[in-house]
Chain A
Amino acid sequence: MEIKEFMETTLTNSGSEVWILACNAEEVPENGGVCVKFGDQQIALFYFTRRNEWYATQNQCPHRQQMALSRGMIGSHVGEPKIACPFHKNTFSLVTGKNISGGVGDLTVYPVRLKENKVYIRVK
């Protein structure tokens, strides 16, 4: 499927922000992530099945600029949901994007909405 198609099925538009249709809910593995293409951007989308929560962050790890976070493991750090980069196991909060392990920058996070079994991400 092409990106254009998704753009046409956006939920609402407000200013420069737009909800894009990412995929069907069942396309995201349980307690894991997938990578969503939006123009030149790559967004990592996670379904934290245990907590029934959805999160989206930039796919690029700020440490070595690798497009890999969607392939990382998710988990919790003292209750805070987090993602670990597969390259060097730097960890980031899925809620705020803040770096937890220390020493590298933070992630941009995006709001996620589930409607009629379809997953939408709000991007700029």
Chain B
Amino acid sequence: MVGFKCCEKLIQKSNGLFEITAFGEEIRPAYDRVHLTEYFSGKSLEQLQLAPESWYAENGISLHLGDPVCQINRHEKTVDTFKGLTLPYDVLILATGSAPFVPAIPGVEKNGVCLYRNIEDLDLIAHWAKKSKKGAVIGGGLLGLEAAKALMDLDIPDVSIIEFSPKLMPRQIDQAGSIVLETKLKNLGLSILLNKNTLEILGDNRVQKLQFSDGTSLEIDLLVISAGIRPRDELAKLCGLDTGVRGGIKVDDQMRTTDPFIYAVGECALHEGLIYGLVAPGYEMAEVACSNILLQEKKFNGYDMSTKLKLIGVDVASFGDPFGQLTPADTIIIQDSKKGIYKRINISRDGKYLLGGILIGEAQQYNLLMQTVKNKIQLPDDPQEILLGSNNRHPGTAAGVNSLPDEAIICSCESITKKTICSLVRDEGCESTETIKRATRAGTGCGGCIPLVKDLMLATMKAEGKYIRTVICEHFHHSRQELFDLVKMNRIKSYENVLNHLGQGDGCEVCKPVVVSILASLWNEMPLKKGNATAQDSNDRFLANIQKGGSYSVVPRIPGGEITPQKLIVIGEIAAKYGLYTKITGGQRIDMFGAHLNDLPSIWEELIDAGFESGHAYGKALRTVKSCVGSTWCRFGLHDSVSFAIQIEERYRGLRAPHKLKSAVSGCIRECAEAQSKDFGLIATEKGWNIYVCGNGGSKPQHAVLLASDVDETTCIKYIDRFLMFYIQTADPLTRTAPWLNKMEGGIDYLRNVVVNDSLGMGSQWETEMQFHMNSYRCEWKEAIETPEIRKRFNHFVNAPSEKDPTLEFEPMRNQKKAKEWK
């Protein structure tokens, strides 16, 4: 990677002054080793390449792959290669990198013992992984943990990390941090063995067991060794350049070796007794070496070894002086063992400056803290404030980035300063992270600075007095609310026309569902109408929910959860006929899973014949109105909650909204229907109904809040009409009612004013619009099966309409079936 950077820099700086020849030991051009693990999650070799082979030719570089230099003749100034070439040089750059350090443990030659360094290593790991159940990694450092992640990605059920020292990542984090990280990794299913010295690798041909010095052992069938790196300095040694005792080619501040015509950069270079095993300092060395070759003064002054990474889903960051050992320091530590968060900062004795620290479990503040260290920004009087980011509503924004000096390096991989980014935003109108990335290459290396780039961009735009709003995507520079109003005013009814009149480009998977949802909310037309069908999100397009494996689920509407025995029998018969898995849903309905796309129309034909209609489980629309049994049977019930639930469900069925809508009606204060967890819920009181709104289950549960109390049924409906229309017109895409209310200025008081007191004067219009919705409601499935053009779209193969997708696979489970687990 650093060698490639040198090529790039020389071309940029020299304008064809040099004839460049690049030699590589590997058979492929330079690739991104930082993201090597992504090879296992499906990234191809081409995607990992830093540049295609053609790039070298286009830039006049003659590239020799699979042909390493094996001798340097410093007197003649020539190099001899493995394939027998001898070529002269004026200046030589050694970017030979490093090799994995393999400890001399007896048995390392056995089958199933792998390293973790290049693509061949990865292929070998993948090969053995197919036959392995128990994997282990020797080395609990950064790379070792990455290797463990790779083994997990390869579906090895049992993975252990073995570390010689008493803590993980010994070079980056402290003991207390290691304990927090261990707990997190254990929760993810990894075993961690510390203080383990491996004596021998046992097994006949294939590795079977690790024997440790404390007498214990571990049975394994795959071992990855990741015990550190050793600089590749053999070539330098051979030609008599000075090298370090523990390896590494000695260089000065200009990256020159002891021969002034030979430079060394990257992991093979030893600067002031240090080897830098990260990409950012390597790139900086490339910059320094190339500048000096072109007689431009530049010095390498050492490099900050700060790192932030997501290890197996756990954020770990270490910056500046993480252990507070280099200068006298005071330490502040915040630890939350329950959440698995550990944060440590070291500050100077006078309390003025941040020296370094460690963040585990949550590392949002990393970029800002690292900048505070690098730029010696004075700390606030109470330094722990900078750790307590959670009290701040927008951690890391505005005040934070504004305090950085212009020369602060934001992207250390590409050396991009704050000034460069801000002037791009201010003067060139770059107002998206994408355009900034393209213009500067900031964030294209490790990607760690992207949040900071975004914060800088927003802060600059704000300082310019720009109105910042959430636009939908590159095709519509409007917020959802603006687009809603524009579509309504212009009375546009198809996706294509909305795009032609209000957007640009050809649309995408983000704006298409947003626009067709707006169209459905406004005009309530059949979603599969020609022109709009292919803009529907895939569930809406086939009026069913796509499930693991590619089959669909079917949910007929069961208003209020009330169903006759006859209808129950029909559902049972249909499910048996089409081989469907049945389950009662949380919303008091019955879900039938595992339907072939081809079968959907006939399944629905039979359901509709029996009096069912679509349940809109596939749509961002009203789902169910759950009810308790109410006063008709319950000895506590105050009102007939089932009848009211059915009335409400039938009023709002099919209503499209920015997100799904759920509701419930409880017949008394015991609240058996759980109405206070719904987007809108009703609870019977002695005098009428209490209306609760903006509740949510889901990943961030939130209780609904009281909108009005003791109102009669007509008023209930009136308020809900207004509430829903207000939500539908003003919420951002995919925003449930709870976050919508949380973002609303004035909160529930404002909402109550709009809905109950009609402060916007919109009440009667919204009620009329809701009445229009009710009058124009039709069952989409009924229309679909009655329209041959639409019905045809449910064939899996266009050229074999009667054949179903042969790749759908199911497995038996508890007398029913389940989807086959995906790979």
Contacts and interface: CB of A to CB of B under 8 A. Distances in A.
Interface of A: 1-3, 6, 22-23, 27-37, 42, 45, 48, 50-51, 62-68, 71-79, 81-82, 84, 86-87, 89, 91, 98-99, 103-106
Given A76-B505, A106-B44, A3 B800 contact: yes
A77 B800 CA distance: 32
Interface in B501-560: 505-509, 511-513, 530-531, 533-535, 537-539, 541-542, 546, 549-550
A103 B434 CA distance: 17
- A-B pairs, top 7 by smallest CB distance, nearest first, are A32-B534, A75-B508, A86-B538, A84-B509, A76-B506, A34-B798, A104-B42
A38 to B, nearest CB: 8
B506 A51 contact: yes
Interface of B: 38, 41-44, 46-47, 434, 474-475, 496, 499, 505-509, 511-513, 530-531, 533-535, 537-539, 541-542, 546, 549-550, 793, 796-800, 803, 805, 807, 822-823
Contacts of B47: 98-99, 105-106
A6 B499 CA distance: 37
Given A31-B534, A50-B496, 13 more contacts: A1-B799, A3-B800, A22-B799, A28-B798, A31-B496, A37-B799, A37-B800, A62-B42, A78-B474, A82-B508, A91-B508, A105-B43, A106-B44
A34 B42 CA distance: 25
Q: Could you tell me the dominant secondary structure of chain B's interface residues?
A: loop
A105 B42 contact: yes
A23 B41 CA distance: 35
28 contacts: A2-B800, A3-B800, A22-B799, A28-B798, A30-B531, A31-B535, A32-B533, A35-B797, A36-B799, A51-B506, A62-B42, A64-B822, A65-B823, A66-B549, A66-B822, A67-B805, A71-B541, A71-B546, A73-B537, A75-B511, A77-B508, A78-B474, A84-B509, A86-B539, A104-B42, A105-B43, A106-B44, A106-B47
Given A31-B534, A50-B496, A106-B47, A23 B799 contact: yes
Nearest to A49: B496
Given A1-B800, A32-B534, A91 B42 contact: no
A73 B42 contact: no
A6 to B, nearest CB: 7
A104 B513 CA distance: 24
Given A66-B549, A75-B506, A36 B798 contact: yes
A103 B793 contact: no
A37 to B, nearest CB: 4
Contact of A37 (B38, B538, B803): B803
A35 B474 CA distance: 29
A27 B798 contact: yes
A28 B534 CA distance: 11
Contacts of B538: 68, 71-73, 86
Contacts of A50: 496, 499, 506-507
Contacts of A74: 506, 534
Given A67-B805, A106-B44, A75 B507 contact: yes
B552 to A, nearest CB: 10
Contacts of B823: 64-65
A30 B534 contact: yes
B534 A75 contact: no
A84 B507 CA distance: 12
Contacts of A73: 508-509, 512-513, 534-535, 537-538
A83 B472 CA distance: 18
Nearest to B39: A105
Nearest to B533: A29
A22 B798 contact: yes
Nearest to B823: A65
Contacts of A51: 506
Contacts of A31: 496, 507, 534-535
A35 B43 contact: no
Contacts of B800: 1-3, 37
B655 to A, nearest CB: 23
Nearest to B806: A40
Given A65-B823, A67-B805, A86-B538, A72 B509 contact: yes
Contacts of A35: 796-798, 805
Given A32-B534, A106-B44, A87 B546 contact: yes
Contacts of A84: 508-509
Question: Which of A3, A29, A82, A91 has the most chain B CB atoms inside 10 A of its CB?
Answer: A29
Contact of B799 (A3, A33, A62, A67): A3
Contact of A103 (B38, B530, B535): B38
A79 B505 contact: yes
A27 B799 CA distance: 9
Nearest to B434: A78
Question: Which of B499, B549, B793, B796 has the most chain A CB atoms inside 10 A of its CB?
Answer: B796
A106 B512 CA distance: 24
A60 to B, nearest CB: 8
Contacts of B546: 68, 71, 86-87
Nearest to B792: A27
A102 to B, nearest CB: 8
Contacts of B542: 71
Nearest to B541: A71
A118 B43 CA distance: 36
B609 to A, nearest CB: 27
B803 A76 contact: no
Question: Which of B505, B537, B538 has the most chain A CB atoms inside 10 A of its CB?
Answer: B538
Question: Which of B513, B535, B550 has the most chain A CB atoms inside 10 A of its CB?
Answer: B550
Contacts of A64: 822-823
Contacts of A87: 546
A96 to B, nearest CB: 10
A114 to B, nearest CB: 15
A74 B550 CA distance: 19
Nearest to B546: A86
B16 to A, nearest CB: 30
A96 B42 CA distance: 17
Given A30-B531, A106-B44, A106-B47, A81 B799 contact: no
B717 to A, nearest CB: 36
Question: Which of A31, A66, A75 has the most chain B CB atoms inside 10 A of its CB?
Answer: A75
Contacts of A106: 44, 46-47
Contacts of A36: 797-799
Nearest to B435: A78
A55 B313 CA distance: 37
B460 to A, nearest CB: 22
A98 B697 CA distance: 38
B798 A103 contact: no
B88 to A, nearest CB: 40
B534 A48 contact: no
A22 B805 CA distance: 17
Contacts of A29: 533-534, 793
A67 B596 CA distance: 12
B41 A103 contact: yes
Given A23-B798, A32-B533, A103-B41, A66 B506 contact: no
B531 A76 contact: no
B526 to A, nearest CB: 15
B513 to A, nearest CB: 8
Nearest to A78: B474
B534 A76 contact: no
A27 B797 CA distance: 11
A66 B597 CA distance: 14
Contacts of B530: 30
Contacts of A48: 506
Contacts of B799: 1, 3, 6, 22-23, 36-37
A3 B803 CA distance: 12
B519 to A, nearest CB: 15
A36 B822 CA distance: 23
Nearest to A33: B534
A91 B534 CA distance: 16
Contacts of A62: 42
A9 B427 CA distance: 59
